[in-house]
Amino acid sequence: MADQFDMPKTYDPHKVEDKWYKHWEENKYFRSTVDPEKEPFCIVMPPPNVTGQLHMGHALDNTMQDILTRWRRMQGYNALWLPGTDHAGIATQAKVEEQLHKEGTGKYDLGREKFLERVWAWKEQYGGRITTQLRRLGASCDWDRERFTMDEGCSDAVLEVFTRLYERGLIYRDYYITNWCPHCQTTISDIEVEHLDKPGQLYYIKYPVKDNPEEYIPVATTRPETMLGDTAVAVHPEDERYRHLVGKTVILPLVEREIPVIADEYVEPEFGTGAVKITPAHDPNDFEVGRRHDLPSVQVIDKEARMTDEAGPKYRGLDRWECRKRIVKDLQSRGLLFKTEDLSHAVGHCYRCASVIEPMLSKQWFVRMKPLAEPAIAAARDGRIKFIPERFTKIYLNWMENIRDWCISRQLWWGHRIPVYYCRDCDEMIVSKTPPEKCQCGSTNLEQDPDVLDTWFSSALWPFSTLGWPKKTVDLAYYYPTSVLVTGRDIIFFWVARMIFSGLAFMDEVPFREVFIHGLVLDALGRKMSKSLGNGVDPIDVIESHGADSLRFMLVTGNTPGNDLRFHFERLDGARNFANKIWNASRFALMNLQDYAPEKSPAREQYTLSDRWIISRYQRAVRDCTEFLEKYELGEAARVLYEFIWNELCDWYIELVKPRLYGKTSAADREAAQHVLAGVLRGALELLHPFMPFITEEIWQRLPHRGRTVMRASWPRYNADLADREAEEQMEMLMEVIRGIRQIRSEMNVPPGKQAEALIVTGAPQIREVLNSNLSYVESLANCRAEVLAQLADKPEQAATAVARDVQVYVPLRGLIDVDRELARLNKELQALEKDLARVQGKLNNPNFLNKAPAEVVEKERGKEAELSSKAGAIKERLAMFGE
């Protein structure tokens, strides 16, 4: 390429990222097709909602998936990262209804068919936003395979699963307490309810005993509005306080309805008053008690969260909160409310709209979970599925072992409509994938169930529905089970568990071998990012300001499996600095490779100590990075690369090799330096590519290379023969000497351009030999004239010293700095430190201060004392060196 060596002075990610992504996508480098000769590696993307836009959680999750996919692809696996989006029933319908509201109309005005046409049009217009944003992040998905939970194939899988589960007796319809969202106007599952601690009150109410108005049972409740639907009061069978009342009746306050006193072990005698009101239509536990005792269910709150006719004429039509106030006032006026207590208690909220959930009795469709959960439990216990970190196995098992039946029906129009048909003439129910022509009674007067399936019902099938199931496709046979699922800890129950039992139920095989769990991205204060707090950070804004590579690298570094990550802009700046460091180092390398002939491979004996050292350190980086990736320690793998590239390659080797590149040695020596620099830099870029794909491609293309793209280059392999422990130890000793001289120069304020004298003393002949053979490294990088000695007759006057392993370094300062001025400066600084130290110690020796000051203030002063003492001691050591 003509401009191969003409790199711009500064790195501009905007000029690089879009260019290379288009190149990758146009050349189908992300494409994966069945190849029996290659081992597959498959990840299915957790499908983001079509209503969504990229947030930091998505950015972290997809960066990790991309790292694993790019790495395995370079290792030679037939890597498939299968993308797709979720139809997001509640959220998408809400978006379209919001549009209609602005137009002055609603879904009922349009009717179901026309409304669904509007939703599909909305999806076509806005549904691709998040996949476009994922491209900007660098996601190397096989976009030709992109799926949607309501496309034809996925929809066929949903209908197939429903009918099969029904035929196996695992789907049923019944009245049950469900979580109703008055705002979204649909049921939601138990795990879609967020329980938030809210301030409230506990109301103590008298329930008078029939035929004995002087006696009552005290009942405590946080929801007095539901008492209008009470059908019993329950006590524990062994509670002596109330045993004589079991079997009798009490009068329900305000309603004047007689309700029985029942005995049930569900009641905890120690909690509250030991007597609880039973409202089967509005509480899941009460519903179970009602079933055991054959109690009626009285529904007093409707789907709009308003009081029903059953609540009585005085309360009918009131909002539930207004009704609560009215009831409390009425109870007080009748002397039936004898106490209230403030308390904080968990209140269920809809995780989508944050409305308070209303437990409500309704007829819904359910999946019977116990038979499906048992194989999924066994798969985790016997190791067919492995959670990373392992601690999440226990969390998963605990939920699965206590699982409740899953309410799968939703009162929406957008989604997979339940494939159940009702005959209006004979009430027959028909479950069928395709609409039946007529009922067994001969009637064609059929009506389909109006509800749709829970969105998670379709996404539970994602690992196999996206590969063609229920058809027996070649893709399904080759890629299933997938290799690993990468997901956040917050959807283990929403999605992971459901995919596991679905895969076992319909494929007789787990959907993935490993589940890699990562934490959440929190703000700098450790809070969850949310719209309400206004603390979210838009990944696209970050890509605009810092580049996608910087965002990706920041999200991964310091990240450990399963743990949350705090977002700090300082760390983001650090990642951008790393990109700039790589760019500048590569630019220097390319300027010195214009006459490089890669086909000329130097003999190993031509390599210098620094060559052998950097080759060995590169091999260890290959080994460590690969091992960490195998263990899903992506943060540690990134750390290894950062330290190798920044510290060893850029800060040390490039500086060490400059004299040879500048032609100050032989032509053969320069060729060897070019060969090592080009090879190690290219290998480092290949290791870094999964983490920072754009900048690595841009630079790799300019270096001598084989192949058309770095993303299809072979992943570097560790070569033990090139790992040179002796070279590493020798070079480390030299680096310590150089660091020691540099530190002396820094601490003594030696002008950067002034050359120092350095006496390097060691009694070890082998070390002297290494030092003498490589003295140019010390002199070049420490800007000094150095002499290696076996021993020193007399210690030089006014010399600073440093220790490096078995080596003593002396740097005479006379003539190097103005000693008198330095002495004056040090004495002045010491006086100031001692004055501050005396003041702090005076405080710490004062009993009044120690007794009255807060503990944290005292501790802060102790810290100051330690810091000042340390600084003063260091200055005294320097003064002693000058003989003062």
Per-residue pLDDT reduced to its tens digit, 76-134: 999 999 999 999 988 899 889 889 989 999 888 999 999 999 999 999 999 899 999 99
Is residue 20 in a domain?
no
Is residue 344 in a domain?
yes
Structure tokens belonging to residue 360: 């409500």
The residue to which tokens 């996919």 are assigned: 69
| 623 & 672 share domain | yes
| Contact between 348 and 168 (Cβ < 8 Å) | no
Is residue 133 in a domain?
no
DSSP label at 256?
T
- Provide the pairing of β-strand 193-209 with 212-221: antiparallel
Q: Is 728 exposed, middle or buried (0-12, 13-18, 19+ CB in 10 A)?
A: middle
| 605 & 592 share domain | yes
569-577 — which CB contacts under 8 Å span 24+ positions? Answer: 569/524, 572/542, 572/546, 573/546, 575/546, 575/549, 575/550, 575/551, 576/546, 576/547, 576/550
- φ/ψ bin of 431: left (φ > 0), alpha (ψ from -120 to 50), beta (otherwise): beta
Average pLDDT rounded to a whole number, residues 551-563: 91
| 630 & 683 share domain | yes
Average pLDDT rounded to a whole number, residues 156-176: 96
| Contact between 680 and 719 (Cβ < 8 Å) | no
More confident residue, 168 or 353: 168
CATH code of the domain in which 420 resides = 2.20.28
Dist. CA 762–CA 270, nearest whole Å: 79
pLDDT-based confidence at residue 270 (cuts at 50, 70, 90): confident
What are φ and ψ of residue 340, in 5° steps?
-135, 150
Q: Is 339 exposed, middle or buried (0-12, 13-18, 19+ CB in 10 A)?
A: exposed
| 654 & 630 share domain | yes
- Whether the bond into 450 is cis, omega within 30 of 0: no
Q: CA 543, 518, 377 angle in degrees (round to 5)? A: 145
| Contact between 741 and 757 (Cβ < 8 Å) | no
Four-point Cα dihedral 605, 609, 611, 617, nearest 10: 120
Structure tokens belonging to residue 484: 């690993």
pLDDT-based confidence at residue 674 (cuts at 50, 70, 90): very high
pLDDT value of residue 2: 36
Structure tokens belonging to residue 827: 């004495």
pLDDT-based confidence at residue 594 (cuts at 50, 70, 90): confident
Is residue 389 in a domain?
no
Dist. CA 49–CA 84, nearest whole Å: 9
Dist. CA 539–CA 140, nearest whole Å: 17
Residue 706 has pLDDT above 80, yes or no: yes
| 691 & 750 share domain | no
pLDDT digits (tens, 9 = 90+) for 150-159: 999 999 999 9
DSSP label at 740?
H
Average pLDDT rounded to a whole number, residues 195-200: 86
| 646 & 674 share domain | yes
Dist. CA 665–CA 674, nearest whole Å: 13
Residue 657 has pLDDT above 70, yes or no: yes
Q: Is 515 exposed, middle or buried (0-12, 13-18, 19+ CB in 10 A)?
A: buried
Q: How far is CA 598 from CA 594, 763, 811, in A?
A: 11, 43, 42
> Which of 325, 359, 393 delimits the end of a domain?
359
Closest CA to 692 of 5, 1, 16, 57: 16
pLDDT-based confidence at residue 429 (cuts at 50, 70, 90): very high
| Percent of all residues in the chain with a pLDDT value above 90, rounded to a whole number | 70
Is residue 429 in a domain?
yes
| 296 & 325 share domain | yes
pLDDT value of residue 779: 95
Residue 717 has pLDDT above 70, yes or no: yes
What are φ and ψ of residue 24, in 5° steps?
-60, -45
What are φ and ψ of residue 670, in 5° steps?
-65, -40
pLDDT digits (tens, 9 = 90+) for 839-858: 999 989 998 888 888 888 88
The residue type found at 122 is W
Q: Which helix (H) or strand (E) holds 386?
A: strand 386-388
Split into its structural domains, the chain has a count of: 5
- Whether the bond into 481 is cis, omega within 30 of 0: yes
DSSP label at 491?
G
CA atoms within 13 A on the CB side of 355: 20
Closest CA to 699 of 601, 797, 687, 737: 687
Return the HEC string of 161-219.
HHHHHHHCCCEEEEEEEEEEECCCCEEECHHHEEEEEEEEEEEEEEEEECCEEEEEEEE
CATH code of the domain in which 857 resides = 1.10.287
- Provide the pairing of β-strand 186-188 with 232-235: unpaired
| Percent of all residues in the chain with a pLDDT value above 70, rounded to a whole number | 99
Residue 421 has pLDDT above 60, yes or no: yes
Dist. CA 614–CA 619, nearest whole Å: 9
| 604 & 637 share domain | yes
| Contact between 798 and 830 (Cβ < 8 Å) | no
Dist. CA 798–CA 756, nearest whole Å: 13
Closest CA to 748 of 883, 881, 837: 881
More confident residue, 417 or 530: 417
pLDDT-based confidence at residue 612 (cuts at 50, 70, 90): very high
Average pLDDT rounded to a whole number, residues 453-475: 96
| Contact between 376 and 397 (Cβ < 8 Å) | no
| 701 & 755 share domain | no
Judge whether 339 is annotated as a binding position.
no
Question: Strand pairing partners for 446?
Answer: 423
Return the HEC string of 673-698.
HHHHHHHHHHHHHHHHCCCCHHHHHH
Structure tokens belonging to residue 46: 């957790």
The residue to which tokens 């899903």 are assigned: 632
- Provide the pairing of β-strand 358-367 with 212-221: unpaired
pLDDT digits (tens, 9 = 90+) for 244-254: 999 999 999 99
Is residue 159 in a domain?
no
pLDDT digits (tens, 9 = 90+) for 496-513: 999 999 999 999 999 999
| 715 & 763 share domain | no
Is residue 330 in a domain?
yes
> Which of 700, 723, 746 delimits the end of a domain?
723
| 593 & 704 share domain | yes
Query: Please, which residues have CB within 8 angstroms of residue 378's CB and are 6 or more apart in sequence?
Result: none
Average pLDDT rounded to a whole number, residues 167-190: 87
| Contact between 62 and 45 (Cβ < 8 Å) | yes
Residue 3 has pLDDT above 70, yes or no: no
- Among 295-299, 305-309, 536-540, 680-684, top mean pLDDT goes to 680-684
| Contact between 687 and 624 (Cβ < 8 Å) | no
DSSP label at 494?
I
Question: Strand pairing partners for 410?
Answer: 452
pLDDT-based confidence at residue 1 (cuts at 50, 70, 90): very low
pLDDT digits (tens, 9 = 90+) for 295-353: 999 999 998 999 999 999 999 999 999 999 999 999 999 999 999 988 888 888 887 77
> Which of 331, 359, 387 delimits the end of a domain?
359
Average pLDDT rounded to a whole number, residues 705-717: 95
Structure tokens belonging to residue 572: 């983001």
pLDDT value of residue 362: 84
Residue 35 has pLDDT above 60, yes or no: yes
The b-or-e profile of 408-432 (16+ CB within 10 A means b, else e) is: bbbbbbbbbbbbbbbbeeeeeebbe
Structure tokens belonging to residue 252: 């329900």
Dist. CA 627–CA 634, nearest whole Å: 10
Residue 884 has pLDDT above 60, yes or no: no
| 286 & 208 share domain | yes
Closest CA to 695 of 4, 5, 19: 19
Dist. CA 672–CA 23, nearest whole Å: 34
Longest dimension (CA), the chain: 117
Dist. CA 534–CA 530, nearest whole Å: 6
Quick count: other Cβ atoms within 10 Å of Cβ 135?
20
Residue 5 has pLDDT above 70, yes or no: no
Dist. CA 9–CA 381, nearest whole Å: 56
Query: Please, which residues have CB within 8 angstroms of residue 66's CB and are 6 or more apart in sequence?
Result: 81, 137, 138, 139, 140, 552, 690, 693
Tell me how far the alpha carbon of residue 36 is from its chain's centroid: 34
pLDDT-based confidence at residue 883 (cuts at 50, 70, 90): low
Dist. CA 551–CA 692, nearest whole Å: 9
Domain residues for the domain of 437 are 409-453
Is residue 661 in a domain?
yes
Residue 191 has pLDDT above 70, yes or no: no
Stretch among 452-456, 677-681, 801-805 having the lowest mean pLDDT? 801-805
More confident residue, 763 or 875: 763
Dist. CA 618–CA 612, nearest whole Å: 10
767-776 — which CB contacts under 8 Å span 24+ positions? Answer: 767/733, 767/805, 767/806, 767/807, 770/609, 770/730, 770/733, 770/734, 771/734, 771/737, 771/807, 773/609, 774/608, 774/609, 774/610, 774/730, 774/734, 776/659
pLDDT value of residue 535: 86
User: Mean pLDDT in the chain?
Assistant: 92
Closest CA to 376 of 515, 487, 510, 481: 510
Q: Taking the model in full, what pTM does it have?
A: 0.84
Residue 4 has pLDDT above 80, yes or no: no
CATH code of the domain in which 256 resides = 3.90.740.10
Query: Please, which residues have CB within 8 angstroms of residue 787's CB and are 6 or more apart in sequence?
Result: 757, 758, 759, 760
Residue 374 has pLDDT above 60, yes or no: yes
Average pLDDT rounded to a whole number, residues 453-471: 96
Dist. CA 426–CA 139, nearest whole Å: 55
